[in-house]
Amino acid sequence: MAYDNGVVFCGMIVAAGLCITSFTAAAAAAQEELPTAYRVPDEPKLEIGSVDEPGSSLFGVTDAIVLRDSRILVADGGSRTLKFFDARGGFLSSLGRSGDGPGEFRSLYRIAEFDDGKIAALDPMLGRVTVFSADGGLEETYQISRQFNEIGQRTRLFGFLANGTLVGIEEVEGQGVEMHYGDYPSSVLTYRAPVVQPVFVDLDGRTVPFARPVPGSQTVSEIRSSVGSGSIRVGGGLVSVPFLRSLQIAVRGDWIALGPIDKYLVGAFGADGAPRAFFGGPPPNETPEGAHEAWLDRQVAKFARRSERSEWRDRYEEFLSSDLAPATLPSFKSLAIQDDGIVWREVYEPTLTDYDPSLWIVNDPSRAGGVVGTVTLPSGFRPYDIGRDYVLGVWRDELDIEFVQVYDLIETPSE
């Protein structure tokens, strides 16, 4: 096993399925002033989403890809349809509609083009995959969630490999941490940090583990109940906590990127589940002084009554003062995969939103040293499909109207 500049190449794979190394000081120093790997022009070369053209308006886009024949396929969650556009952005046709029947959707998440040219769409609400031919004919519908429900495990799916296999994670029973603060189960703050197993999922719902179990996403949720007028009202849900760890998974073609595996490592895996490389990064920054307190003030301000604010402040303070509260910020925000397994890691910056420019570190598992450089994407633009010379994603304007955009991705010559 050898490593250089934060990338680890695995010659011998340990029984657990991963080889782990600590990040070197030289790699941390190299990350401080990285070269620019790519640049994108100020304006996109293509924009889809005109309200004046029939079929072109978009709402609730969940995925978008460029097909091999240069058509663009968009999963439009608002209309529950798959929309095809030509290489110039002109609307061609659509598939599906809202419903439970064959070729219909209750929700849309990930889409993919398989090696054989077929097109697949994942419907999480119905727990099934619908497969179409390249020209849009309905081929098959697979009910993949049946076995999940029988097992009773919590399984989350992230996307398709080119061979048609789904990639997901399932919680490992009996591992992880769950803590309650308050009057469980009626009115309580709950912290969860599960351990999850990366899995392949075939179209019959069977799961096959790959890699080793890893820490899952940390979550905090509220359950609030009240009694009045002869009824019980229950509210609450997941709480957005910016400094919690979030497990990120990206899937494209024959590659999977997953992390953080251990503190701040990201693993790149092949379609067979074998690890190909591991990328480090500078250690996460410590949570700024006063950040927990400032966030808590905003969080409890939503409660109308003083007694509620005091009660929930006590619960949050108990959690934040415990060893479970993260002492560092997340090491990155999200992951994406370019052609040939090149991994993009989005730099985490707590002051930025999805409407700000995003900075990404580019890692190439085929290069010694791994780190290629950085790329900055435009304000409000979130990438879905990254090719060798383009990046396709969704952009929202000041009125929150959605557009699919394609930018040229221009490689910057190395010095």
Task: Name the amino acid, one letter, at 161.
Answer: L
pLDDT at residue 1, as a whole number: 29
Q: What is the Cα–Cα distance from 21 to 3, expressed in whole angstroms?
A: 8
Task: Name the amino acid, one letter, at 293.
Answer: E
The tokens for 22 are 């600590």
pLDDT at residue 415, as a whole number: 59
pLDDT at residue 24, as a whole number: 36
pLDDT at residue 207, as a whole number: 86
In a domain, residue 397? The reply is yes
- The 10 Å CB-count burial string (b at 16+, else e) for 115-131 is eeebbbbbbbebbbbbb
In a domain, residue 312? The reply is no
**This prediction's pTM:** 0.87
pLDDT at residue 7, as a whole number: 39
pLDDT at residue 358, as a whole number: 93
In a domain, residue 252? The reply is yes
pLDDT at residue 12, as a whole number: 27
pLDDT at residue 59, as a whole number: 94
In a domain, residue 104? The reply is yes
* DSSP string of 183-197, one letter each residue: ETTTEEEEEEE-EEE
In a domain, residue 16? The reply is yes
Structural domain boundaries, residue 362: 2-170+197-211+248-284+338-410
How many distinct structural domains can be found in the chain? 1
In a domain, residue 382? The reply is yes
In a domain, residue 373? The reply is yes
Q: What is the Cα–Cα distance from 62 to 385, expressed in whole angstroms?
A: 12
List the pLDDT tens digit at each of the 415 positions of the chain: 233 334 333 332 333 333 333 333 333 433 457 889 999 999 999 999 987 888 899 999 999 999 999 999 999 999 999 999 999 999 999 999 999 999 999 999 999 999 999 999 999 888 899 999 998 999 999 888 754 444 445 788 999 999 999 999 999 988 999 999 998 777 899 999 999 999 998 877 788 999 999 999 999 999 887 655 555 556 778 998 888 999 999 999 999 999 998 778 899 999 999 999 998 766 778 888 888 899 999 999 988 889 989 999 999 999 999 999 988 888 889 999 998 899 999 988 877 777 889 999 999 988 766 788 999 999 999 999 999 999 999 999 888 899 999 999 999 876 5
In a domain, residue 303? The reply is no
Digit-coded pLDDT (tens) for 89-136 = 999 999 999 999 999 999 999 999 999 999 999 998 888 999 999 989
CATH of the domain at 405: 2.120.10.30
pLDDT at residue 180, as a whole number: 94
Residues 6+ apart with CB under 8 A from 399: none
pLDDT at residue 232, as a whole number: 56
DSSP 8-state code for residue 261: S
